[in-house]
């Protein structure tokens, strides 16, 4: 019996199966490779999105910090400039309404303290009247309050017809101005180091 045709048929069948199997293996490998590439691409997109969101979040925080810094800077300057104007009026011998002075100082004091409290979000602590002074936090608010009290005494003297002694008020205001300048430098340094950007002068 000639087995050659049978053997040839078997070999042909095996070869066909083998070729089909190898083709299937190649197809599976290609699919797996495509899936890995798809996953890698998605992972890269996710990383880029996370980085973008982190940058946006950092930028938003920096903008909020800058706004808090500028609000404190502006109200502190407004309070000092107001007391300067009152001193000029007193030096000229003119009268100042005591009630209006009290009202304006109360407003500026409240706004300054509120703005100072907001700076705590950025790791800044500003000492005030009831705080223990430290070398880290200048007593800017306390010094402004003392200057306002001394100027009020002068206003009260003037309202009674007594020539006010302005030297004490002037000294208190100069001390407050010096502390404000020192605080300005400290705040600029703090925000420059922590935010990596130069902010407006206080």
In tens, the pLDDT along 170-187 reads 999 999 988 888 887 777
CA dihedral 116, 119, 121, 122 (to 10 degrees): -160
Is residue 42, in this structure, part of any structural domain at all? no
> What does the pLDDT read at residue 134?
39
Q: Of 175, 75, 170, 172, which is closest to residue 117 (Cα–Cα)? A: 75
> What does the pLDDT read at residue 32?
81
Is residue 34, in this structure, part of any structural domain at all? no
Is residue 146, in this structure, part of any structural domain at all? yes
In the numeric block, which tokens belong to residue 61? 């925080």
> What does the pLDDT read at residue 200?
42
- Print the domain residue range for 132: 62-195
Segment 41-63 mean pLDDT: 75
Q: CA 100, 101, 103: angle at the middle one, nearest 5?
A: 65
Is residue 44, in this structure, part of any structural domain at all? no
Is residue 11, in this structure, part of any structural domain at all? no
Is residue 97, in this structure, part of any structural domain at all? yes
> What does the pLDDT read at residue 154?
92
- Torsional sign, CA 66, 81, 134, 106: negative
Is residue 6, in this structure, part of any structural domain at all? no
Is residue 92, in this structure, part of any structural domain at all? yes
**Domains: count for the chain:** 1
> What does the pLDDT read at residue 33?
82
């Amino acid at each position: 019996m000639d087995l050659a045709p049978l053997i040839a048929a078997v070999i042909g069948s095996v070869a066909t199966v083998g070729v089909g199997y190898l083709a299937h293996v190649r197809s599976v490998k290609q699919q797996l490779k495509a899936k890995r590439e798809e996953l890698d691409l998605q992972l890269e997109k996710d990383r880029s999105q996370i980085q973008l969101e982190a940058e946006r979040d950092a930028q938003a925080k920096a903008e909020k910090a800058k706004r808090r810094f500028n609000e404190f800077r502006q109200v502190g300057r407004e309070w000092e400039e107001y007391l300067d104007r009152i001193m000029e009026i007193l030096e000229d011998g003119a009268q100042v309404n005591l009630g209006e002075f009290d009202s304006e100082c109360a407003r500026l004091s409240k706004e300054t303290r509120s703005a100072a409290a907001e700076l705590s979000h950025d790791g800044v602590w500003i000492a005030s009247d009831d705080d223990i002074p430290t070398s880290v936090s200048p007593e800017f608010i306390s010094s402004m309050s003392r200057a306002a009290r001394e100027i009020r005494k002068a206003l009260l003297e003037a309202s009674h017809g007594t020539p006010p002694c302005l030297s004490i008020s002037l000294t208190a205001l100069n001390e407050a101005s010096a502390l404000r300048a020192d605080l300005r430098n400290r705040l600029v340094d703090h925000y420059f180091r922590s935010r990596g950007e130069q902010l407006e002068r206080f």
